[in-house]
Amino acid sequence: MTTIEMTVDGVRYQDEVEPRLLLVHYLRDRLGLGGTPIGCDTSNCGACTVQVDGVSAKSCTMLTVQADGSEIITIQGLAKDGRLHAVQQAFHDEHALQCGYCTPGMIMAAVDLLRENPDPSDQEIRDGLEGNLCRCTGYQNIVRAVHSAATTEARS
């Protein structure tokens, strides 16, 4: 067992974990943060994407001990003071989700994409979200939503 400390969605945690414990299992099973789902076992789908120290990461591909000392934001910590993040709002407005299972990871990846490129082209959005799979939407409205969020962010 290893002692780790991290901040998740603004709350500080200290825990003893097995070195092999995946970050996503720590979030889900130990902290009860079920908002970050698991969609595969090969790091292809991106459903489990979170922010680790401001950068998106697939939490199924990271051991909890690797995140020791980090600040993590999950989909459950993205809205601030009851206000949705621009990307969350845009996903709702543009119908960028259907079943919603990929949505937490897709939103977290899109937030990171816009951080790196605040004014992406369609192709840049499609390429930037390549690591996140959606089976429902055909991605068209996801692309629309990311554009719309970029516009909102630029105005604010």
Partner 1 sequence: MTTTETHVIGQPRKRKEDARLITGQARWTDNITLPGMLHFALVRSPMAHAKISSVDVSAALQRPGVLAAFSGADLAADLGSLPCAWPVTPDMVHPDHHPLATDEVRYVGDAVAVVVARDRYAVADAIEAVEVDYEPLPAVVNMEEALKDEVLVHSQAGTNKCFVWPFDGGDYDAVKATADIVFKRRYVQQRLIPTAMEPRAVVVEPLAAAEEFTVYSTTQIPHILRVMLALTVGIPEQKLRVIAPDVGGGFGSKLNVYAEEVIALVLAKRLGRPVKWTESRSEGYQATIHGRDQIQDIEIAATKDGKLLGLSVDLKADMGAYLQLVTPGVPVLGAFMYNAIYKMDAYRFRCTGVFTTKTPTDAYRGAGRPEATYAIERAMSDLAHEIGKDPMQLRRENWITHEEFPFTTIAGLTYDSGDYEAATARSMELFGYDDLRREQAERRDRNDPVQLGIGISTFTEMCGLAPSRVLGSLSYGAGGWEAASIRMLPTGKVEVVTGTAPHGQGHVTSWSQIAADALGVPFEDVEVMHSDTRVAPMGMDTYGSRSLVVGGVAVHLAAQKVIEKAKKVAAHLLEAAESDIEFAAGTFSVKGSPDAKKTIQEISLATFAAHNFPDGVEPSLNSDAVLDPENFSFPHGTHLCAALVDTETGHTKIRSYVAVDDVGNVINPMIVEGQVHGGLAQGIAQALYEEAVYDDDGNLVTGTLVDYLVPAASDLPEFTTDRTVTPATSNPLGVKGVGEAGTIASTPAVVNAVVDALRPFGIDDIRMPCTPERVWRAIQDRSSGGDRSAEGTVAYGGTQTATTAGRDTEAGGGAQ
Angle at 46 between CA 41 and CA 47, to 5 degrees: 90
Q: Does 53 bind partner 1 (CB under 8 A)?
A: no
CB 41 within 8 A of CB 59: no
Whole-angstrom Cα Rg for the chain: 15
Residue of 1, 32, 80, 155 interacting with partner 1 (CB under 8 A): 32
SS3 93: helix
In whole angstroms, the minimum distance from the beta carbon of 82 to partner 1 comes to: 10
Distance of alpha carbon 18 from alpha carbon 75, whole angstroms: 25
Which tokens sit at 62? 């990271």
x/- binding map, residues 68-107, to partner 1, per CB under 8 A? ------xxx-xx----x---x--xxx-x-xxxxxxxx--x
Q: Does 18 bind partner 1 (CB under 8 A)?
A: yes
Task: Please report, as ranges, the residues that interact with partner 1 according to CB under 8 A.
Answer: 18, 20-22, 24-25, 28-29, 32-42, 44-45, 47, 60, 74-76, 78-79, 84, 88, 91-93, 95, 97-104, 107, 122-123, 125-127, 129-143
